[in-house]
């Protein structure tokens, strides 16, 4: 088919693998943005989720976040933040920051909700036994609760990562780099090869993340199963 041929052609064209608009550059940009968004999201939501899950308080927080998180359209979020950040930094404040912030907001609910839920799901008897053995709160968290809750937690991180990778492409509408560039430019220039090439790259990246984190999740599952008698 036309489209498949164009895509294969575009992907195999060595010219597309060099320069500031080359595939390695864009992949690098995309990865950097996604990693940054994930890192910030993790920094915010992991402590919060571990806290609420461990102490089993603030149950409404996770529930409310889950609801709101799903309901917030990313493009609208980017639009909401854009004028503010643009005023602060005309360049990055237009392209990078709005999308970055929107991706952080996108990633927080899955991570926090799963951290909270994963910890809450740890068998209360196991926790009680560990406390009885003399584990302090921090040690309890580190040695008992987190390892047991890890599969669920990793599931949340995995879900967040895939969503972020796919949705970061929206930033290209606002002159952001990354793989979204190929998609937006492909549309504008009517270049099917570039458009679908971008899609394939994003898809590949998302599936790689999915696969890696899925693997980690399965390893964590086996470890957790081995721990519980």
Residue showing tokens 């560039």: 181
Candidates 36, 54, 172, 164; CA nearest to 109 is 164
Region binding other proteins by CB under 8 A among candidate stretches 44-52, 53-61, 129-137, 199-207: 199-207
Q: Which of 56, 70, 143, 227 binds other proteins (CB under 8 A)?
A: 70
Least distance in Å: CB of 16 to other proteins?
Answer: 17
Long-range contacts at 123-126 (CB < 8 A, ≥ 24 apart): 123/148, 123/228, 126/228
In terms of Cβ atoms closer than 10 Å to its own Cβ (0-12, 13-18, 19+), residue 60 is exposed
Q: Which of 32, 59, 76, 133 binds other proteins (CB under 8 A)?
A: 76
CA dist 77 and 108 (Å) reads 14
Least distance in Å: CB of 187 to other proteins?
Answer: 4
Q: Which of 36, 46, 79, 93 binds other proteins (CB under 8 A)?
A: 79
101 forms part of the interface with other proteins (CB under 8 A): no
Residue showing tokens 């990354």: 178
Region binding other proteins by CB under 8 A among candidate stretches 30-38, 43-51, 81-89, 118-126: 81-89
Q: Which of 20, 60, 71, 132 binds other proteins (CB under 8 A)?
A: 71
Region binding other proteins by CB under 8 A among candidate stretches 32-40, 52-60, 112-120, 180-188: 180-188
Give me 179's structure tokens.
């793989």
216 forms part of the interface with other proteins (CB under 8 A): no
Our CB check for other proteins shows the closer of 53 and 180 to be 180
Q: How far is CA 228 from CA 122, 150, 185, in A?
A: 10, 13, 53
Q: Which of 11, 46, 162, 216 binds other proteins (CB under 8 A)?
A: 162
In terms of Cβ atoms closer than 10 Å to its own Cβ (0-12, 13-18, 19+), residue 49 is buried
Residue showing tokens 């899950």: 53
- DSSP states along 192-228: HHHHHHHHHHHHHHHHHHHHHHHHHHHHHHHHHHHH-
75 forms part of the interface with other proteins (CB under 8 A): yes
Least distance in Å: CB of 123 to other proteins?
Answer: 23
Q: Which residues bind other proteins (CB under 8 A)?
A: 2-3, 67-68, 70-80, 82-83, 86, 162, 165-167, 169-170, 172-174, 180, 183-184, 186-187, 192, 195-196, 198-199, 202-203, 206-207, 210
């Amino acid at each position: 088919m036309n489209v498949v041929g164009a895509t294969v052609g575009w992907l195999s064209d060595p010219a597309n693998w060099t320069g500031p608009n080359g595939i390695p550059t864009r992949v690098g940009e995309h990865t950097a943005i996604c990693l940054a968004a994930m890192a910030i999201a993790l920094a915010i939501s992991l402590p919060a989720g571990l806290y609420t899950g461990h102490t089993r308080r603030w149950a409404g927080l996770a529930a409310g976040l889950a609801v709101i998180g799903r309901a917030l359209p990313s493009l609208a979020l980017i639009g909401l933040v854009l004028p503010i950040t643009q005023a602060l930094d005309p360049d990055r404040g237009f392209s990078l920051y709005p999308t970055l912030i929107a991706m952080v907001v996108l990633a927080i609910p899955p991570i926090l909700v799963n951290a909270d839920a994963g910890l809450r799901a740890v068998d209360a008897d196991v926790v009680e036994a560990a406390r009885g053995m003399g584990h302090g709160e921090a040690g309890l968290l580190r040695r008992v609760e987190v390892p047991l809750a890890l599969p669920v937690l990793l599931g949340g991180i995995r879900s967040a990562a895939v969503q972020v990778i796919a949705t970061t492409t929206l930033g290209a509408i606002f002159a952001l780099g990354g793989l979204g560039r190929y998609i937006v430019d492909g549309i504008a220039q009517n270049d099917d090869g570039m458009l679908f090439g971008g899609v394939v790259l994003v898809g590949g990246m998302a599936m790689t993340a999915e696969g890696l984190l899925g693997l980690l999740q399965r390893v964590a599952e086996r470890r957790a199963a081995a721990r519980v008698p």
